[in-house]
Structure 1
Amino acid sequence: MRGLPFVFGLSSSSVRTSHLPPAAAISRRTLAVLLAVCLSGGAVSAAGGPAVSASSAIIVDARSGQVLWSKNATVRRPMASTTKVMTALLALELGNLDDVVTVPAGVEQIPEMSFHLIPGEKLTLRQLLYAVMVRSANDAAVVVARHIGGTEEHFVELMNLRARQLGLEDTQFRNPNGLHVEGHYSTAADLARLAREAISTPGFNEFCSTRSIVIERPMSQDRLLRNTARFLRDYPGADGIKTGYTRQAGRCFIGSATVNGWRVITVVLNSVDAGADTRALMDYAFARFAPRTLAKAGDIHSRVRVAGGDPEELPLAVDSDLVVCVPRTGGEVKKLVELRKLEPPLNRGDRVGDLVVEVDGRPVQRVALVAADDVQPRRSRNPLFLAVLSSFPAGYVYLRRSRNGG
């Protein structure tokens, strides 16, 4: 299709064509990176953003990843124990929570925050993950890593591979617990994306929202795990996610809260007071923005003509729910349709373009548009064939029917 396509029902939208590659040629990783770039570059920011002490910070809609506000969100920094979100994610994806894990020798020498694990002690992977996420136990993180990866080194390789799969291009792991080492870093934007993946993983929300829990340990009296994040106890709707601190990283926190069914994720790195910063970010998000559903998965958004197609008119459906966050004071919402070159045949479900939503002129969300019907090439009738056929009685009947649409 050349030039602007003929589009029905787009009075509230704009249309533009682009030479996007075929759907099969776009990998999940590429789509994730493209979407991340689109959203991070189009943060919706109201005047007078939140005052935070953190060197880097970000607010995102947990469902879509839409950035509501950010500060130095793509600057690489050490991230301390927020690292453990990736450790827990891999454990949930690759392990069995009921696995019984024997604590290996040497873990008692791992410094700083620990669960005081005893070599030879047996705990389930579930118990170890509570220690990792609630107390932020460094020794438990290493035991989990060795159980899942065979060795700590191989587990770190898995961490970095998973980071690449998620499009975390500014993240590099050197250990599973976040203890400071050169070359171990991330960004507020990457950690927000990681958190979104983690909370969508079955089981993770239970670990990241637990305030306290008692772990049965026959070999130890150290059984009570208590989350040190006051945000979890004090903020209405708080449901995660992970604290972090080293001298080099400063105070770090990935926060999450759900109010009236809307979940928001925040990240602060190198903060003077991570709890106060997180509360300020959450207050800003819930006071200034509200989610708005523009379309449900399967809704017909528009119709286009496909040259040489049968039928010629193709309805376009939204592939997934389209929800955007808009300023409560009002914002101009505009929908832009980006179409690929449309040529038959097209099958129901084929990706034929994208629906891009702009708020106040900045792109904040992108969803796929798919064919809602099949379109086959229109069969042409050769004029010479029809002329010969018309010289016969049967051909005459065929020709008359053809011309009359029969």
Structure 2
Amino acid sequence: MKRRQICILIVISLFFTVHATVAIGQTLAISASSAIVMDVKTGRVLYKKNINERKPMASTTKIMTGLLGLEKCSLDKNVKVPKNAVGVEGSSIYLNYDENLKMKDLIYGLMLRSGNDAAVAIATHVSGSVEKFAQLMNERAKKLGAKNTNFVNPHGLHHKDHYTTAYDLALITREALMNPNFKEVVKTKLWVADREGYKYFYNKNKTLKQFDGGDGVKTGYTKVAGRCLVTSATRNGVQLICVVLNDPNWFQDSYCLLDVAFDKYTPFSILKKDAVVKMIDVENGKKNCTGVVSKENIMLPLTEEEKGKIRTVLEIKEICKAPIKRGQRFGKVKIYLEGDLLYTTDIIAREDIEEKDFKDKVWDFVHRKKPI
């Protein structure tokens, strides 16, 4: 069946969905054992199938490995290849013992070519051993709320105690995509490493070429895990993640799920960065009041029906005391959909306001209003 026909069937099934989650009807079943579509901005789940079932994840493991490598080391850090990173089973960038590479070359080799040797080199450099790095991976996962995930290694070669869920993997990927360096790496089609020999790293992820807006993330396969794929795509300022685990039609299913989600949930601008959301009084300032603004643009994917049900709640002080600095935090704005919190961001000052000096206070005293 052609991709377009499949997508039409999915659209029909999505007609009968509730606002929180896209639900595919019993008449249509994608081939993935588990699958999810998540909005990167909010973490909102737009589609789910068995999202909390523990599954092996193969090389999608490397999303966490890459994120930690970027968080713990600078891209220009020199890394000497340890002996345990040479000749690792499976996909490889053919590292040599004692070879010196930049961390960025290892990261690109990890994410584009799925180098298991690169994974071990990164893990050993960051934590001193694969075992200690796995502990670090698990600590990071738990902080993100990935409670049904356990890492044993940095590459994803099969181990009975190495597993995740579609939901947890989406959470980890969402966090990774908020890292600008990671986001840049996974959307790169070709990287030329600064080394001799094997240095042209072509991205294995066909999403970048085949899918409109495709910009990540990672393929994975082992005999036990099956075909695992984490894709991301951005259209009209909205970025979505799709995770499919144990899916024979991994790319086809991912493309259809993303297409349907983008069709059903369209961008809706709620607040614009630097737009005044409220005027507040300023105590003891050279200005009596000032406007406070949203720290960022808030554009969320919503259905047409949902757009009329959005509610914004401001939690800010009514009066603030000078001096005030531009960018100073004054509170929060919370975005709700039918009682469910979708997103929160800071409300900040749009300008500097100096504290009144002695002359200002004399002026105020002289020109104060006298009682009639």
Please confirm whether the aligned pair reaches a TM-score higher than 0.5, indicating the same fold: yes
Give the stretch that moved more between structures: 69-78 or 125-134: 69-78
Cα distance change on mapping 1:206 and 1:322 into 2, 3 Å: closer
**Which residue of 2 is the match for residue 400 of structure 1?**
none
Secondary structure (helix, strand or coil) at the match of 2:101 reads: strand
**What is the Cα deviation at residue 323 of structure 1?**
3.0
**What is the Cα deviation at residue 265 of structure 1?**
1.4
**Which residue of 1 is the match for residue 336 of structure 2?**
357
**What is the Cα deviation at residue 108 of structure 1?**
2.9
1:324/1:364 contact within 8 Å kept: no
**What is the Cα deviation at residue 363 of structure 1?**
2.5
**Which residue of 2 is the match for residue 277 of structure 1?**
253
Secondary structure (helix, strand or coil) at the match of 1:181 reads: coil
Structure 2 regions of 5+ residues with no counterpart?
1-17, 281-290, 323-327, 350-369
Matched, 1:53 2:31: yes
Aligned length: 325
Cα distance change on mapping 1:155 and 1:46 into 2, 3 Å: closer
Which fold has the larger relative contact order, with Cα–Cα distance below 8 Å and residues 6 or more apart in sequence?
1
Matches within 5 A, 1:321-336: 321-328=297-304, 332-335=308-311
CA RMSD of aligned residues (A): 3.5
1:60/1:66 contact within 8 Å kept: yes
**Which residue of 1 is the match for residue 226 of structure 2?**
250
**Which residue of 1 is the match for residue 90 of structure 2?**
112
Secondary structure (helix, strand or coil) at the match of 2:267 reads: strand
Cα distance change on mapping 1:295 and 1:279 into 2, 3 Å: same
| TM-score using structure 2 length | 0.75
Distance in 2 between the 1:106 and 1:405 partners? Answer: 85
1:294 corresponds to which letter in structure 2? Answer: I
**What is the Cα deviation at residue 321 of structure 1?**
4.2
Cα distance change on mapping 1:217 and 1:295 into 2, 3 Å: closer
**What is the Cα deviation at residue 168 of structure 1?**
1.9
**Which residue of 2 is the match for residue 211 of structure 1?**
189
| TM-score using structure 1 length | 0.69
Cα distance change on mapping 1:355 and 1:129 into 2, 3 Å: closer
Deviations 1:283-309 (A, max 9, x none): 1112111111112356666899xxxxx
**What is the Cα deviation at residue 343 of structure 1?**
12
1:131/1:225 contact within 8 Å kept: yes
Deviations 1:196-246 (A, max 9, x none): 22122131122211223343533x4x3332222222221122111111111
Q: Which has the larger radius of gyration?
A: 1
**Which residue of 2 is the match for residue 239 of structure 1?**
215
Structure 1 regions of 5+ residues with no counterpart?
1-40, 305-314, 373-403
Matched, 1:178 2:156: yes
2:82/2:124 contact within 8 Å kept: no
Cα distance change on mapping 1:316 and 1:177 into 2, 3 Å: same
Matched, 1:164 2:142: yes
1:139 to 117, 123, 127: 117
Matched, 1:225 2:204: no
Distance in 2 between the 1:405 and 1:183 partners? Answer: 79
1:298/1:318 contact within 8 Å kept: yes
Identity across aligned pairs (percent)?
37
Distance in 1 between the 2:148 and 2:314 partners? Answer: 29
2:334/2:341 contact within 8 Å kept: no
Matches within 5 A, 1:7-406: 43-45=20-22, 51-218=29-196, 220=197, 222-296=198-272, 321-328=297-304, 332-335=308-311, 337=313, 349=329, 351=331, 355-358=334-337, 361=338, 363=340, 365-367=342-344
Deviations 1:380-401 (A, max 9, x none): xxxxxxxxxxxxxxxxxxxxxx
**What is the Cα deviation at residue 132 of structure 1?**
0.4
Deviations 1:31-62 (A, max 9, x none): xxxxxxxxxx9734267698521111111222
1:227 corresponds to which letter in structure 2? Answer: N
2:112/2:205 contact within 8 Å kept: no
2:207/2:215 contact within 8 Å kept: no
Secondary structure (helix, strand or coil) at the match of 2:121 reads: helix
Distance in 2 between the 1:215 and 1:371 partners? Answer: 42
Secondary structure (helix, strand or coil) at the match of 2:86 reads: helix
Distance in 1 between the 2:173 and 2:224 partners? Answer: 22
Cα distance change on mapping 1:405 and 1:296 into 2, 3 Å: farther
